Amino acid sequence: MTTMTIAKAINEGLRASLAGNPRTLLMGEDIGPLGGVYRVTDGLIGEFGADRVVDTPLAESGIIGTAIGLALSGYLPVCEIQFDGFVFPGFNQITTQLAKMHSRSNGNLTVPVVIRIPYGGGIGSIEHHSESPEALFAHTAGLRIITPSNPHDAYWMIQQAIDCLDPVIVFEPKRRYWLKGEVDTTSPGQSADPFQAHVLRSGTDATVVAYGPLVPVALAAASAAAEDGHSVEVIDLRSISPIDFDTVTDSVRKTGRLIVAHEAPTFGGIGGEIAARVSERAFHSLEAPVMRVGGFHMPYPVAKVEEDYLPDIDRILEALERALAY
């Protein structure tokens, strides 16, 4: 076990993949000598060279599109999109090409491209630097989407994404890049399946499902609820597509109440999908409607008011109170 930040864990995970397979390569803007704007690729160009840590022109469609071509020729490209709001110039390549290549080739072609996207708010940045567009991609069949919330998962999930034959988008919670935790680099342990949710805390009164940046918030809310005498189970979803509904449903059957929390706008978000599925699968176990805690239906607001926008401990507790009131 070693202690490291999420950013360092991804760096080490990338290093392990680059060392383990000569066909792995990284591409993105500023990922070379600068090491990426968050230094996630720090030092890798020195170890693996410019052919494998490729500083690209500033062109997201070009980055994703050439990665598709590299994958078709047998390589394992890992693209870095600098910020969440900058993925949209590459949206066409991701949704119309990357996601569908395997299907439209009747299974003859695979495109194992990984796209890393630092996402979410809470860092006081300017517009287009704090968004959570995961639902826009989750709606597209052919893509897989995962999001680590701790360094151990970050270390293993990036490698598992690279090993996956399908395209994988890794949404990295940028405000947690400096979160430290223990990493077992010798074994993924229960993190062996990146598409499986983890129950981080057991409880009996309600379940809170969160992912990425909101996992520490959900855990803190559960601790606060415990002081009020409520036993709250916390699930780290980890995978947004596919979603591990079995773990979520099993928890709801036990607790009878569900709160889903994410930073993305509530409307049309992942929370709605989870609420609908749980109501289909475990309606008779529910003691209350599924509550959603998310962002508002507005463009991500200016940094000076983002605290009012982002779901926090109190917003989760408020939803818990409403659920418990039934």
Partner 1 sequence: MGATHLPSTEFDGTGVDDQREAQAEAVLGDPAVPMVQLLSPDGTLGTDPVFSEYAARLDAEKLRGFYADMAKIRRFDVEATALQRQGQLALWVPLTGQEAAQIGSGRASQPQDYIFPTYREHGVALTRNVDLAELLRQFRGVSNGGWNPKETNFHLYTLVLAAQTPHAVGYAMGIQRDQKRAAAQAAAAGSAAGTQDPKAAVMVYFGDGASSEGDVHESMVFASSYNAPVVFFCQNNHWAISVPTTVQTRIPLSHRAKGYGFPGIRVDGNDVIAVHAVTEWALERAREGKSPVLIEAFTYRVGAHTTADDPTKYRGSEEEERWRAKDPLERLEKYLRAEGLADDAFFDQVKADGDELAAYVRKTTHDLETPDIRTAFANTYAQAHPLVAEELAWFEEYSAGFADEAEPADTEAAN
Helices and strands, counts by H and E, the chain: 12, 14
Binding status of residue 244 toward partner 1 by CB under 8 A: yes
Q: Which residues pair with 210 in a beta bridge?
A: 236, 261
- Whether 284 sits among the annotated catalytic residues: the reply is no
By CB under 8 A, name the one of 38, 83, 137, 195 that touches partner 1: 195
Q: Which residues pair with 27 in a beta bridge?
A: 54, 79
Query: Which of the ranges 235-243, 287-295, 300-308, 317-325 carries the binding residues for partner 1, by CB under 8 A?
Result: 235-243
Cβ neighbours around 126 below 10 Å, total: 10
Q: Would you list the DSSP string of 7-19?
A: HHHHHHHHHHHHH
Binding status of residue 164 toward partner 1 by CB under 8 A: yes
Binding status of residue 97 toward partner 1 by CB under 8 A: yes
CB of 209 to partner 1, least distance (A): 16
- Residue closer to partner 1 by CB (options 11, 239) is 239
Cβ neighbours around 104 below 10 Å, total: 12
Binding status of residue 242 toward partner 1 by CB under 8 A: yes
Query: Which of the ranges 7-15, 163-171, 181-189, 303-311 carries the binding residues for partner 1, by CB under 8 A?
Result: 163-171
CB of 237 to partner 1, least distance (A): 14
Task: Read off the amino acid at residue 232.
Answer: V
- Residue closer to partner 1 by CB (options 166, 287) is 166
- Residue closer to partner 1 by CB (options 51, 227) is 51
By CB under 8 A, name the one of 8, 116, 144, 257 that touches partner 1: 144
Query: Which of the ranges 10-18, 70-78, 119-127, 224-232 carries the binding residues for partner 1, by CB under 8 A?
Result: 70-78
| Phi, psi values for residue 202, rounded to 5° | -85, 150
Binding residues among 260-319 for partner 1 as defined by CB under 8 A? none
Is the separation of the CB atoms in 198 and 190 below 8 Å?
yes
Is the separation of the CB atoms in 54 and 30 below 8 Å?
no
Contacts for 26 with CB less than 8 Å, ≥ 6 apart: 14, 18, 41, 44, 52, 53, 54, 77, 78, 79, 80
Alpha helices in 256-312 (DSSP H): 270-282, 306-309
What is the Cα–Cα distance from 197 to 201, expressed in whole angstroms?
A: 12
Query: Which of the ranges 125-133, 207-215, 236-244, 295-303 carries the binding residues for partner 1, by CB under 8 A?
Result: 236-244
CB of 239 to partner 1, least distance (A): 10
Among 140, 62, 77, 63, residue whose Cα is nearest residue 111: 77
Per-residue contact string for residues 29-68; x = within reach of partner 1 by CB under 8 A: ----------------------x----xx-x-xx-xxxxx
Tell me the two tokens of residue 205.
Answer: 């009164």
Query: Which of the ranges 152-160, 162-170, 174-182, 303-311 carries the binding residues for partner 1, by CB under 8 A?
Result: 162-170
What is the Cα–Cα distance from 71 to 55, expressed in whole angstroms?
A: 17
By CB under 8 A, name the one of 6, 44, 71, 234 that touches partner 1: 71
Contacts with partner 1, residue ranges (CB under 8 A): 22, 25, 51, 56-57, 59, 61-62, 64-75, 77, 89, 92-93, 96-97, 100, 102-110, 112, 141-142, 144, 164-166, 195, 241-245
Residue positions annotated with a catalytic role: 129
